[in-house]
Chain A
Amino acid sequence: MLYTQYTTKIVALAIFGLALLYYILLRSPDHTFFNMGEDGPLFLQTAKHLVTGAPSPGSPLFHITNAVWMRMFSFGTEYGTVAILSAVYSAITAGLLYLITRNILAPLLWISSAIVLSQSTILELYTLMTLMMVLGYYAYIKDKRVLAYFILGLGVAVHHICGLGFVALIVTDFINKRSLKPALAFFLVIPLFIYIPLTNRPPYYMIGGNLPVDYIKYFFQTAAGLAGGLPLWPADNIYGRLWDLVRVTGGGLGLSLVLVYLTVKNNWKEHLPTLLMGLLPLMYYITTSDSKSYFTTLPTIAFLAILATKYDWRSLKIVCSIICSGLIIMNIFLYDFGRAIDKDQSAVQFYNQLEELPPGSVLETCWCISNSIYVNMTYLHNLENEDDIYIVDTEFFRMFGGRGLDGKLTSKDIWVDRIENAEKEGKLFRVKAESFLEGNIVPASSKEVLDKYVNSDFYKDSIGEYNNGISS
């Protein structure tokens, strides 16, 4: 018995080590436009300067952990130092999946998934989010329910998806007629959110000020189908999203879905918490704002991988394990930063171009998906260099009033003047991008910028009303 427990822990540790090595070898050494890591520059700001992060919902635990880590260790670039934590969290999750299932298939499914790999090699919070869910689940199946709810509460201090784990456990407890009092431990995390008002200070990039109304806007203002980071409607069509769904689940879990189906068919009630923790994030993705949010399905991979090991079909498990090993090799050729993807380090080039702009420049970022990475990088540049490059961007114009360092540029007139003066002084630029994976800064004319934003119907319909509300 002792030998078995000892062996299990050694194997889990070996899986952690190998997974970590795999992620570190493939990781992005510096800023990148790839793998939808649009929040990377923002997370570097929060880690380095302890400013407020994105409203989903504030992620205090993630930011504090990054800040502490960054002050203790150094691995190449600042970005690379913090990004390595994604690899560590993902590798711990792999080891934990083995501890839970005592079957090599679960960690193999996790490690071989390209979606998991994509988020383990960049600066993002989704591997920590999944780790918190798996840890909470682990405590729950060990019958430490207070701890389980508490961990999921901590998970919400990383990302609100962990709240779906809370729903999964509370529904399970409800159906099994167990006391719901342990669920109160979920709310013990609330004091951690004091991080948000503590770090909210000028120039108020994320929150427009320090009044209660500013916090309400931060959490609930609707932009691009989001309210406080929660998606309200999808900017896509059903066929595209279903195709995404097939690729996310089929490409990530493949044949093991047969095992999942058989497990659930055998005894769904026994596996209800696992099933809900896997399926709720998937439902979230299907109804979410855009198809790039595939990273919200990381818990789906983890929990359905656990379910796949529960059905006794040894030969299929062996086949799945072999395919997973093949996929790991294939992923090395598809996702290796610097060799397979992001050879030119386009995001680093973009950041270097920012450093060449004259102080007080106005930069129009293209109206395209994930342009927030341009905005986040510019804000990072401003913080690092005490510079003030003003962003003109439809989405951020509406959400944050297109503020520079003074935090006051919310009036249309101020913007028109600033854009026109910038052109006269040769300080007006725009981002030219043929795809999301690049971003070149080129000179712009005030007419094209004003026509695109201030004089556009979009501005009149939404931004105009917003600014009128502020000025009144």
Chain B
Amino acid sequence: MTKIISIPLIALGAILWIVLSYISQPLIIGEEVFHRWNQGTSTSYLVGVFTFKLLFTLVVIGAIGGFFASKFKHNNAIRTLIHLSSTIMVMLYIYAIYTIYD
């Protein structure tokens, strides 16, 4: 039964793969992006991108910093550094959002 269902799905997937690969050509050679360059960027997209980058950076800072804080004696100083760098990131984020809406 699984085979009966999966065979047409795989065939469909194979066709989609080839079609997508074929229609990627204008993007890859550079023909397409020229015409998209002057398009506006939507505000919601920018906010989303900045939020993602902020969260990602905070997670990386937290993970690396948290590990070091647990390993060394002067963990309070390391924690302070983590808080400081995280605060700077949040401030940069607020500034970035401000510039988007300004």
Q: With contacts A254-B16, A330-B18, A334-B22 known, is A236 near B39, CB below 8 A?
A: yes
Min C-beta distance of B1 to chain A, whole Å:
16
Q: Which of B21, B37, B96 contacts A235 (CB 8 A)?
A: B37
Give the CA-CA distance A251 to B67 in the complex, in Å. Answer: 39
Give the CA-CA distance A244 to B39 in the complex, in Å. Answer: 15
Indicate whether A319 reaches chain B with its CB closer than 8 angstroms. Answer: yes
Q: Which of B20, B40, B49 contacts A233 (CB 8 A)?
A: B49
Give the CA-CA distance A316 to B32 in the complex, in Å. Answer: 33
Indicate whether A171 reaches chain B with its CB closer than 8 angstroms. Answer: yes
Residues of A near B27 (CB, < 8 A) are: 244, 247, 291, 294
A341 lies within 8 A of B29 (CB): yes
A251 lies within 8 A of B13 (CB): no
A316 lies within 8 A of B28 (CB): no
B33 lies within 8 A of A436 (CB): yes
Indicate whether B23 reaches chain A with its CB closer than 8 angstroms. Answer: yes
Binary interface encoding of chain B residues 1-26 relative to chain A, with 1 for a CB under 8 A from any of its CBs, else 0: 00000000010011011101111110
Give the CA-CA distance A157 to B29 in the complex, in Å. Answer: 27
Min C-beta distance of B14 to chain A, whole Å:
5
B49 lies within 8 A of A368 (CB): no
Q: How many interface contacts (CB-CB < 8 Å) are there between A and B? A: 140
Closest to A322 in B: B14
Residues of B near A370 (CB, < 8 A) are: 30, 33-34
**Chain-B contact segment, one of A32-40, A85-93, A266-274, A380-388:** A32-40
Min C-beta distance of B70 to chain A, whole Å:
10
Q: Which of B21, B24, B30, B49 contacts A33 (CB 8 A)?
A: B30
A369 lies within 8 A of B28 (CB): no
Q: Which of A174, A254, A436 contacts B21 (CB 8 A)?
A: A254
Closest to B71 in A: A180
Indicate whether A437 reaches chain B with its CB closer than 8 angstroms. Answer: yes
Indicate whether B46 reaches chain A with its CB closer than 8 angstroms. Answer: yes
By size class, the interface of chain B is: 35 or more
A251 lies within 8 A of B40 (CB): no
A319 lies within 8 A of B39 (CB): no
B33 lies within 8 A of A327 (CB): no
The binding surface of chain A is classed by DSSP as helix
Min C-beta distance of B78 to chain A, whole Å:
13
Residues of A near B53 (CB, < 8 A) are: 287
Q: With contacts A174-B67, A287-B52 known, is A234 near B21, CB below 8 A?
A: no
B33 lies within 8 A of A291 (CB): yes
Residues of A39-98 whose CB lies within 8 A of B = none
B14 lies within 8 A of A319 (CB): yes
Q: With contacts A170-B64, A174-B63, A254-B20 known, is A316 near B33, CB below 8 A?
A: no
Min C-beta distance of B97 to chain A, whole Å:
11
Indicate whether A191 reaches chain B with its CB closer than 8 angstroms. Answer: no
Give the CA-CA distance A248 to B28 in the complex, in Å. Answer: 9
Min C-beta distance of B20 to chain A, whole Å:
4
Q: With contacts A255-B14, A258-B13 known, is A327 near B21, CB below 8 A?
A: yes
Residues of A near B68 (CB, < 8 A) are: 180
Interface residues of A (CB under 8 A from B): 33-36, 114-115, 118, 167, 170-171, 174, 180, 232-238, 240-241, 244, 246-248, 250-252, 254-255, 258, 283, 287, 290-292, 294, 316, 319, 323, 326-327, 330, 334-335, 341, 368-370, 435-437
The contact sample of 11 A-B pairs, CB cut-off 8 A, is A34-B29, A36-B33, A115-B24, A118-B28, A235-B39, A235-B41, A247-B20, A290-B37, A294-B28, A330-B21, A370-B34
Other than the known A36-B30, A171-B60, A233-B46, what 12 A-B pairs have Cβ atoms closer than 8 Å?
A33-B30, A170-B63, A247-B27, A254-B13, A254-B18, A255-B14, A291-B33, A291-B36, A323-B14, A326-B18, A436-B33, A437-B30
